């Protein structure tokens, strides 16, 4: 029996050897690498009526509603206007999905930050020729030295607004905000850089200081200011002053102009320690779906007649030199706007503080939470 099994085994081995063993599948030749197709430009947003949509992300009350309506009519489009309270909120939204917006309005130092993060489209200046009329000093500022990724929309200074009915002696120093007579009546801008900046100036430091000792010094004072604070507010600060809920606080010059028009008791001063100059800019985020319409919008806002109408409504200094003949005498001679002009060359720009922003943010959280 064993011999039979051995013979059968040998026979099978010979048979398999003759057939070349189990059949192997032929390997396919490697396919040539496919060339990457260039990315197709994003399709412009349209609403249910088939109109193009311009998604705008800006500060509150930053445009004359009639100017926006006129643009919609002229270009047969719809504007969606979303609002942010500060630059850090803007940055977070853009990092989370900036392509949903076509036009954004970062401030000076935030332009620098966004450029480092490659978050902004390069502007085609041939499509926005009206910007050639901007004040020369604002055409290629330090935060965007090539002047190809942003355009200054509004600019001004930060000072102290106060109600003359309740603040009998005009403030002269940032330190005046700590007066115990103003308990629960002080409003500060809801912006980390603005709040820490005036404290830095009060102590004689650069508003861009990243020195930990300087920050600690400022934080000690700002925490001591807490009993006086009614609110941190950028969205409705004008309304608080007009309604006389707030008696004194930090305010941008344009908002002070607007508040003064509604309540003649409002005064505005630049403290003796100095202040900061700022600019809010037009920019287009990377991947914006409607870049062409965005550039039309920017150019339209700088049409001289449109510009004059718009800035008289929002109350900020008009950077458009060609608009001057169309402004009212009241606007040209307004004392608050003149104050801003006086300080344009004597104020400090807010700069990107790099990694120190994390320290600033921790300070801000402490101030807002009281911890």
Detail the residues annotated as belonging to a binding site.
109, 191-194
The residue among 191, 174, 183, 171 whose CA lies nearest residue 237 is 191
Angle at 347 between CA 275 and CA 323, to 5 degrees: 110
> How many whole angstroms separate alpha carbon 337 and alpha carbon 156?
8
The residue written with tokens 């200081």 in the block is 209
Q: Other CB atoms closer than 10 Å to residue 289's CB: what's the count?
A: 20
Beta carbons of 148 and 125 less than 8 angstroms apart = yes
Beta carbons of 88 and 361 less than 8 angstroms apart = yes
Beta carbons of 56 and 103 less than 8 angstroms apart = yes
> How many whole angstroms separate alpha carbon 101 and alpha carbon 284?
8
Angle at 299 between CA 296 and CA 301, to 5 degrees: 110
**Pairing, β 186-188 against β 248-252:** parallel
Beta carbons of 280 and 84 less than 8 angstroms apart = no
Question: What 8-state DSSP symbol labels residue 273?
Answer: T
| Residues linked to residue 282 through DSSP beta bridges, in sequence order | 151
| Residues linked to residue 158 through DSSP beta bridges, in sequence order | 252
The DSSP element (H or E) to which 327 belongs, if any, is none
> How many whole angstroms separate alpha carbon 210 and alpha carbon 40?
43
Detail the residues annotated as belonging to a binding site for spermidine.
109, 191-194
> How many whole angstroms separate alpha carbon 52 and alpha carbon 75?
9
Phi, psi of 54 (to 5 degrees): -105, 115
Beta carbons of 186 and 246 less than 8 angstroms apart = yes
- Maximum Cα–Cα distance across the chain: 124
The DSSP element (H or E) to which 340 belongs, if any, is helix 335-342
């Amino acid at each position: 029996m064993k011999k039979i099994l051995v013979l059968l085994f040998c026979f099978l081995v010979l048979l398999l050897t003759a057939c070349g063993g189990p059949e192997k599948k032929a390997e396919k030749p490697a396919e040539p690498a496919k060339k990457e197709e260039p990315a197709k430009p994003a399709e412009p947003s349209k609403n249910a009526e088939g109109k193009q949509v311009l998604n705008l992300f800006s500060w509150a009350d930053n445009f004359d509603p009639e100017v926006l309506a006129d643009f919609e009519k002229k270009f047969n489009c719809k504007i969606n206007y979303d609002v942010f309270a500060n630059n850090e909120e803007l940055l977070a939204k853009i990092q989370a999905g900036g392509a949903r917006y076509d036009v954004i309005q970062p401030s000076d130092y935030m332009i620098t930050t966004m450029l480092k993060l490659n978050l902004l489209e390069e502007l085609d200046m041939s499509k926005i020729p009206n910007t050639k009329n901007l004040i020369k000093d604002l055409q290629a500022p330090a935060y965007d030295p090539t002047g190809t990724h942003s355009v200054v929309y509004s600019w001004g200074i930060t000072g102290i607004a106060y109600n003359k009915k309740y603040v009998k002696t005009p403030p002269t120093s940032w330190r005046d905000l700590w007066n115990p007579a103003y308990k629960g009546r002080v409003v500060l801008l809801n912006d980390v850089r603005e709040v820490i900046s005036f404290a830095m100036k009060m102590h004689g430091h650069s508003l861009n200081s990243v020195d930990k000792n300087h920050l600690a010094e400022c934080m000690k004072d700002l925490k001591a200011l807490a009993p006086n604070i009614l609110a941190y507010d950028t969205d409705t600060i004008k309304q608080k002053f007009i309604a006389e809920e707030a008696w004194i606080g930090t305010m941008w010059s344009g908002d002070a102009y607007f508040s003064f028009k509604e309540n003649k008791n409002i005064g505005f001063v630049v403290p003796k320690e100095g202040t900061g100059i700022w600019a809010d800019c037009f920019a287009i985020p990377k991947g914006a779906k409607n870049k062409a319409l965005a550039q039309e919008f920017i150019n339209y806002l700088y049409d001289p007649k449109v510009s004059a109408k718009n800035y008289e409504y929002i109350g900020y200094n008009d950077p458009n030199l060609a608009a001057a003949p169309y402004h009212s005498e009241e606007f040209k001679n307004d004392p608050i706007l003149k104050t801003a002009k006086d300080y344009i060359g004597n104020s400090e720009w807010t700069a990107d503080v790099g990694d120190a922003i994390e320290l600033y943010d921790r300070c801000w959280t402490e101030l807002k939470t009281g911890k």
